Amino acid sequence: MNKPNEKVNNRIEWIDACKGFAIILVILGHIADGYLGAKTFPANKGVLQAIYNCMYAFHMPLFFFLSGFLFCKAYCMNTKNIKSRFSKQCLNIVWIYLIFSVVQWCFKMYFADSVNKSFSVRDLELILIKPMKPYWYLYVLFFYYIIYHLCYKKIRTDILVIASFIIGIVGSFITVKLIFPVYELTYYAVFFALGMYYADSEKVRALTAKFFNKYIYLLILVLISISTLVYTAYNGLASNYPVKFLTAFICTVTTILVFENIIMLGRNKFFELCGRYSLEIYVIHCFITAGNRVILPKFGITYFALAFIINLIMAIFIPILISLVLKKLKLYKIVYKPASYLKIRE
């Protein structure tokens, strides 16, 4: 069943829009985190902390839900040329992770005096087992692709959700600080699996569409999510797994349902644009937000709200512009899709 905001060519508009919204949340969180770390606006610390708390409460669970949804649609439910497409996508993820991690390492080594957290040679040596921030998402995503691709044909997606939830609970008890990102791999697994389940279950999607077509129920869910985020903003991120998971789950599900069922958001052109370039924005924006903390004051831009807004706008549109230039120069595939040049037999 095609929803009113899904195209015939199978590109799901609300997913693009929701991805765009999610990447904006990521940028907001990173801008706030950067300013807090640099202690740039001490008078606005409370506002920055509230933004940080709200964004970090659910922006990555939302991203992994969307990733699981798209993964299931593209590499589990669609079996056409599956071996070639899946292998190439995995190789692309590895390439993007490695190339941008190395670029960021060089950037932070060169501008060591101007960044919040500098890197060492050791960080580069451990790149295969200790992902550099913020590229840990790609690192974890690669493992999810491999694991859940192997599991999909043998285990139902609802069982995968339950198993992933249990793994997340077990992972929450690991308090020892490890080099390998065990916490990230275990905590976000359930959201990736939930995305797969939602993509795989037309009955569930039809039921939610019918139920939330009555906007009063959707409004109630939105109000619950807002209340949860307001509490998180003023009380900080939950440290215990049940509260943290519940907050992320409520806000993630609410966001998905809002974008899927409210056409003016699901078809929002700005969110769609950001969603189509969400990967490019994700891997490049951190250089811009970090640089702006140093550059903007040199141009006399020291007013908090103005600096924050300019930083946000530049972090969104500069990566998009760079991508368009790369496409014009026919370099885009080399940077983001090098595996497309490979021939992999089925």
Most confident of 69-83, 107-121, 291-305, 319-333: 319-333
> Quick one: angle between helices 157-172 and 136-152, nearest 10?
140
What is the arithmetic mean of pLDDT over 123-137? 91
In this structure, the dihedral spanned by the alpha carbons of residues 42, 48, 53 and 57, taken in order and rounded to 10 degrees, is -150
Q: What is the DSSP secondary structure assignment for residue 42, as one 8-state letter?
A: G
What the block records as the tokens of 148 is 């859940």
Q: Above pLDDT 90, what percent of the chain? A: 64
Q: Are 343 and 78 in contact (CB under 8 A)?
A: no
Closest CA to 35 of 313, 311, 314, 316: 311
SS3 12: strand
Closest among 330, 333, 335 to 284, alpha carbons compared: 335
pLDDT score at 18? 96
Ranges 59-73, 102-116, 146-160: which has the least confidence: 102-116
Mean pLDDT, residues 219-234 taken together: 84
d(CA 275, CA 67): 12
Q: Using one digit for the tens of pLDDT, what is the confidence trace for 261-301?
A: 887 777 899 999 999 999 999 999 999 999 999 899 999 99
Residue ranges per domain, the chain? 13-341
More confident residue, 232 or 191: 191
Which SS3 state, helix, strand or coil, does residue 327 take?
Answer: helix
The token duo for 145 is 């692709």
CA distance 141 to 21: 19
3-state secondary structure labels for all residues of 55-86: HHHHHHHHHHHHHHHHHHHHHCCCCCCHHHHH
Q: Which of 175-189, 244-258, 292-306 has the lowest mean pLDDT?
A: 175-189
> Where are the extended beta strands (E) located within the chain?
none
Other beta carbons within 10 Å of 112: 12
Give the residue-averaged pLDDT of 19-27.
Answer: 97
Residue 19: the pLDDT is: 96
Which letter, b or e, does each residue of 23-36 get, where b requires 16 or more Cβ atoms within 10 Å of its Cβ? bbbbbbbbbbbbbb
Note the pLDDT of residue 210: 66
Q: Is the previous residue joined to 297 through a cis bond, with omega within 30 degrees of 0?
A: no
Q: What is the pLDDT of residues 89-107, one digit of tens each?
A: 999 999 999 999 999 999 8
- Assign 201 to helix, strand or coil: coil
Distance from C-alpha of 152 to C-alpha of 306, rounded to nearest angstrom: 48
